[in-house]
Structure 1
Amino acid sequence: MHPQPESGTGTTAGLPATADGRTSSAPPSGPAPAGAPDDGRMTWYVYLAIVISTFGGLIFGYDTGVAGGAAGFVADDYGLSSFMEGVVVSTSLFGGMVGAMAGGPLGDRYGRRPVLLLSGLLFTAGALISAFAPGLAVLLAARVVLGAGVGAASVLVPVYIAELAPARIRGALVSGYQLLTTLGIVLAYGVNALFGAGQAWRWSLGLAAVPGLLLAGGVLLVPESPRWLVSRGRLEAARDLLRRVRGRHDVEAELHEIRAVHRQEARAGSGGWRELNASWVRPMVLVGVLVAFFANGCGINLVIYFAPQILQSAGMGSSSSLLATVGLGAVNVVFTVVGMALVDRVGRKPLLLAGAVGMTVTLGALAVVVSVPGLPGANWLSFACLSLYIVMYAVSPGLVAYVVISEIFPLHVRAKATGVATFVIFATNLVIGLTSLPMLDRLGTATTFCLFTAVCVLFVLFCLRMPETKGRTLEELEARFRAAADSRAHARVSRGV
């Protein structure tokens, strides 16, 4: 049930009123007010909101990068098997699955800001408890709490940015989340290298509280999403906020477009979980879920978590492999910036396709390198293959996946659908985290990478069929999928199905 718009004396500016003075729920008649609803203008208010919200990416990246390095030292302290070492890495991913599924409904009900605040606090608490954990059970429980914060942030940060950003540069702004994720990874690699000699894994895990506090404190300074305000009937608040974030007084055209789409959705369904299976929503959900799966099932977390072990298996020394992972993290950051410059120029589909092809080639080459016994320079050839793989990932699915997920779902189920896609991300990473070390131990490095190469081939086939979302407002994307669903329904009726 959708709440009624806020009422006041007389009528709400620009909206029709009923005889009793309340704002009418009928859609506005006639054309939208003159003026472009989205001229791409950015204000300091939008920059502040986006910078602070992307700290959610920093916490995700830091935990991803620090877990693999710290887990080896945890395993040494507690005498753990390779499977249990994977469990230490993956418990935060289980928490991420919980946070992803809960973050969407909570974000729809209470707003984007409160849930982002909660995610920062959960991450901070989990990091601090991990640092002081008296035993393995407490450590694992703390990492579940930490992961829940990461999962909720991973759902709502891209959604929040997409709902604030102008369509013209939305891709670059949403991909700022991934840039902070890569910065978090390289920061974690540096911390692992710094504390690795003393096996001070508690310091490595405890320092994760810093980005968590930055997110929790910063969220207090940023606005709510104007599209969420419209969905809750708070029209005057949405109008005032749009004026601030767009830097102009006339925002009626954008507000009209948001309201029109919201009212169309309200007539079509309640926004509950069953709406994800509606005929015009289901293709959007399928695209988002498959992008989420392939962007992580391509093997990136195997590389991020266990790069030191992979390089050591190719003949690189222990200390050299830890330093090499810092180099891999730096490559990830640099080429994420390159991808941010390309995503709104080249488009989502071409970048994903190019990246999927590149990852297929580089993983296949790595499988060949590690399968040849005594190959001269195998350690540095392996490092080169991993570096090129990360280049392909960074400019492509590493940032484009979250852009597509943040913009392809309709408003009334956006947070829930994003939660499902993010759940798939964490579930895929959980499986990879639990099985990677046993696969490397039992199947060998070459066979393991052959399996992930096959996944990348399927990724290429998917990219050939996915739709382009570049340069369209969120409302335009929604209208396009509605029209496609109506066309399919009409075709079925014409055939007598």
Structure 2
Amino acid sequence: MAGGFLPAVGAVREDFGGKLTVSVYITCIVAASCGLIFGYDIGISGGVTTMEPFLRRFFPSVLRKMRQSKQNEYCMYDSQLLTSFTSSLYIAGLIGSLGASRVTRALGRRASMLLGGATFLTGATINGAAVNVVMLIVGRILLGIGVGFTNQATPLYLAETAPPKWRGAFISGFQLFLGIGVAAANLINYGTAKIHGWGWRLSLGLAAVPALIMTTGTLLVPDTASSLIQRGKIDEARRALQRVRGSGADVEAELQCLTEETMKSEAVEKPFRDIFKRRYRPQLVMSIAIPLFQQLTGINVVAFYAPVLFRSVGFGSDSSLMAAVILCLVNLGSILVSTYIVDRYGRKVLFMEGGVQMILFLTAVACVLGVKIGSSGTSPLSKGDAVLVLVLMCAYAAGFGWSWGPLCWLIPSEIFPLEIRPAGQSISIAANFAVTFVLAQFFLSMLCHFKYGIFLFYAGFIAIMTVFVAVFLPETKGVPLEAMDRVWEKHWYWRRFVVLERTAPKMNGYSNSI
């Protein structure tokens, strides 16, 4: 095998002669469209919270604060009740992602995606019809559970369906659709903000559209071969492989390889317990560290609150929404760049370049705001300075879009062996949601207290995580999922866990591993 990787079980090759068929494109596009619902929700909430009719109905205290004559710009939207509207989705997503592991393992990746889509659709309907804060929060919780299920299952589906050579590009498709959802949400907010009185209902209710698209599409595609084999459906797995690999593929050889991997995985009865064993330590650390660090780039809170952020530094209502749209479109374009190069140049080079780029431009934003607004926050930016902040934020968003954005979904989905893959992905998504909840809940308060220093706060974390990735993350480009454990055995630090575990003496049938 290329690169010197040897299989843990059976004969594993880099590929089995499969081509990039029309079927694999369609299947992966449908699966990646699950990112639409997450992206739409990320983008819609920030714009809705700047609409006066929405604030007047649900958060009148925030509206009163905005209308005070002498108001610190940084603190205009500082309300824990308002941020709970955004953050409630992510604590629900955390719970949903952990629960999704059992469904994904027992019923398949496709079942989790369908359940997530249906739950999200229900939440969107409740939010669009909300008449009080309780309905609003209940709807957000259902949205969160739906996103938790789809985010847990979709990257696994893509990793198991895509050919190893192009796995990075296909999994990046999830982030691409997420970016499309964010951009669409901001465009919709820009239009519905002009509808007096009920535009916010349209923004929230239209979340049902991406949910319908992805749920309907998921009904039309098969489950992954790995998932079907795990549930004893060998003939269905063979047909699924034939469909996505094409006529020139050695389907029987790949099926045999996946069957052997599945037999190995059946020995693990309690994956959430076994994932803490020594031999899985590298994957467990990365599955938590990567999503944790991704949130500490600050990108999601910027995406949630982009209109709020731009209003806070001096943009008008319409201008702040359009600035948020521009920011999303730049991020979307950079995701396309990542899709093209991630399987050519590898994961680490994108992590490094994106990290340095984000550090530089976040620092520049802090400097501009510090000089022009200062700590008092009583002097909004001039038009020219506001445009400069937007340009710097776009450069920062581009750095994220071709690095930490797609790679946060790619790395955890490809590093786990089959026996703990659903559990590992659940832990990764739960970590992502946990940190997102904290940051979403407290970002506006942090902006009020840290002022322009909030951007230096995130720049500092990006510096730490860029060094972490450079030192501890091995390159996984082009490595088949079945041979991924050999990556850790060759790493200067992680091999002490994996190799020692493999050679450790066994007592009563169990390795001395914890």
2:76 maps to: none
The one-letter code sitting in structure 2 at the alignment partner of 1:77 is R
Counterpart-to-counterpart distance in 2, 1:139 and 1:196: 19
With over 3 angstroms needed to count, the CA separation of the structure-2 counterparts of 1:365 and 1:258, relative to structure 1, is same
How far did residue 435 of structure 1 move? 0.5
Are 1:474 and 2:481 an aligned pair? yes
Alignment length (residue pairs): 462
The one-letter code sitting in structure 2 at the alignment partner of 1:319 is D
How far did residue 372 of structure 1 move? 0.5
Instruction: Using the TM superposition, name which of 155-164 and 35-44 deviates more.
Output: 35-44
2:470 maps to: 464
How far did residue 169 of structure 1 move? 0.5
Question: Is the CA contact 1:271–1:412 (under 8 Å) kept in the aligned structure 2?
Answer: no
Counterpart-to-counterpart distance in 2, 1:316 and 1:139: 28
Question: Is the CA contact 1:83–1:435 (under 8 Å) kept in the aligned structure 2?
Answer: yes
2:43 maps to: 65
Counterpart-to-counterpart distance in 2, 1:194 and 1:373: 31
String of CA shifts for 1:50-93, please: whole Å, max 9, x gaps.
11112210000000000111123333322155211111111111
TM-score w.r.t. structure 2 length? 0.85
Q: 1:103-118 residue pairs with structure 2 within 5 A?
A: 103-118=100-115
Instruction: Using the TM superposition, name which of 456-465 and 249-258 deviates more.
Output: 249-258
2:499 maps to: 487
How far did residue 490 of structure 1 move? 7.5
Counterpart-to-counterpart distance in 2, 1:457 and 1:76: 41
Secondary structure of residue in 2 paired with 1:316: coil
With over 3 angstroms needed to count, the CA separation of the structure-2 counterparts of 1:457 and 1:127, relative to structure 1, is same
Question: Is the CA contact 1:40–1:168 (under 8 Å) kept in the aligned structure 2?
Answer: no
Question: Is the CA contact 1:37–1:251 (under 8 Å) kept in the aligned structure 2?
Answer: no
1:13 maps to: none
Secondary structure of residue in 1 paired with 2:275: helix
Question: Is the CA contact 2:116–2:145 (under 8 Å) kept in the aligned structure 1?
Answer: yes
How far did residue 31 of structure 1 move? 6.8
1:394 maps to: 401
Instruction: Using the TM superposition, name which of 68-77 and 288-297 deviates more.
Output: 68-77
Question: Is the CA contact 1:314–1:378 (under 8 Å) kept in the aligned structure 2?
Answer: no
Q: 1:220-239 residue pairs with structure 2 within 5 A?
A: 220-239=219-238
The one-letter code sitting in structure 2 at the alignment partner of 1:384 is V
How far did residue 163 of structure 1 move? 0.5
1:76 maps to: 56
How far did residue 266 of structure 1 move? 3.5
2:390 maps to: 383
With over 3 angstroms needed to count, the CA separation of the structure-2 counterparts of 1:372 and 1:352, relative to structure 1, is same
With over 3 angstroms needed to count, the CA separation of the structure-2 counterparts of 1:468 and 1:42, relative to structure 1, is same
Secondary structure of residue in 1 paired with 2:34: helix
Are 1:144 and 2:141 an aligned pair? yes
The one-letter code sitting in structure 2 at the alignment partner of 1:364 is T
String of CA shifts for 1:182-202, please: whole Å, max 9, x gaps.
000000000111011335211
How far did residue 381 of structure 1 move? 1.7
Question: Is the CA contact 2:37–2:207 (under 8 Å) kept in the aligned structure 1?
Answer: yes
String of CA shifts for 1:18-46, please: whole Å, max 9, x gaps.
xxxxxxxxxxxx9749x874335122222
Counterpart-to-counterpart distance in 2, 1:80 and 1:414: 46
Identity among equivalent positions (%) equals 33
Q: 2:187 aligns with which of 185, 190, 196?
A: 190
The one-letter code sitting in structure 2 at the alignment partner of 1:306 is Y
Q: 1:329-348 residue pairs with structure 2 within 5 A?
A: 329-348=328-347
Counterpart-to-counterpart distance in 2, 1:139 and 1:271: 37
Q: 1:241-280 residue pairs with structure 2 within 5 A?
A: 241-248=240-247, 250-267=250-267, 269-280=268-279
Counterpart-to-counterpart distance in 2, 1:425 and 1:350: 23
Counterpart-to-counterpart distance in 1, 2:240 and 2:503: 42
1:451 maps to: 457
Question: Is the CA contact 1:116–1:156 (under 8 Å) kept in the aligned structure 2?
Answer: yes
Are 1:170 and 2:167 an aligned pair? yes
Counterpart-to-counterpart distance in 2, 1:38 and 1:75: 57
With over 3 angstroms needed to count, the CA separation of the structure-2 counterparts of 1:229 and 1:491, relative to structure 1, is closer
Question: Is the CA contact 1:124–1:208 (under 8 Å) kept in the aligned structure 2?
Answer: yes
How far did residue 463 of structure 1 move? 1.3
String of CA shifts for 1:177-224, please: whole Å, max 9, x gaps.
100000000000001110113352111000000110111111111001
1:423 maps to: 430
The one-letter code sitting in structure 2 at the alignment partner of 1:272 is P
Question: Is the CA contact 2:10–2:260 (under 8 Å) kept in the aligned structure 1?
Answer: no
Question: Is the CA contact 1:183–1:333 (under 8 Å) kept in the aligned structure 2?
Answer: yes
Q: 1:314-393 residue pairs with structure 2 within 5 A?
A: 314-373=313-372, 377-393=384-400
TM-score w.r.t. structure 1 length? 0.88
Question: Is the CA contact 2:43–2:182 (under 8 Å) kept in the aligned structure 1?
Answer: yes
Are 1:407 and 2:407 an aligned pair? no
Question: Alignment RMSD, CA only?
Answer: 2.2
Counterpart-to-counterpart distance in 1, 2:275 and 2:372: 51
With over 3 angstroms needed to count, the CA separation of the structure-2 counterparts of 1:164 and 1:492, relative to structure 1, is closer
Which structure 2 segments of 5+ residues have no match?
Answer: 1-8, 63-78, 374-380, 506-512
Counterpart-to-counterpart distance in 1, 2:144 and 2:125: 13
How far did residue 486 of structure 1 move? 4.4
Instruction: Using the TM superposition, name which of 257-266 and 64-73 deviates more.
Output: 257-266
How far did residue 233 of structure 1 move? 2.8
How far did residue 315 of structure 1 move? 2.7
Counterpart-to-counterpart distance in 1, 2:245 and 2:26: 13
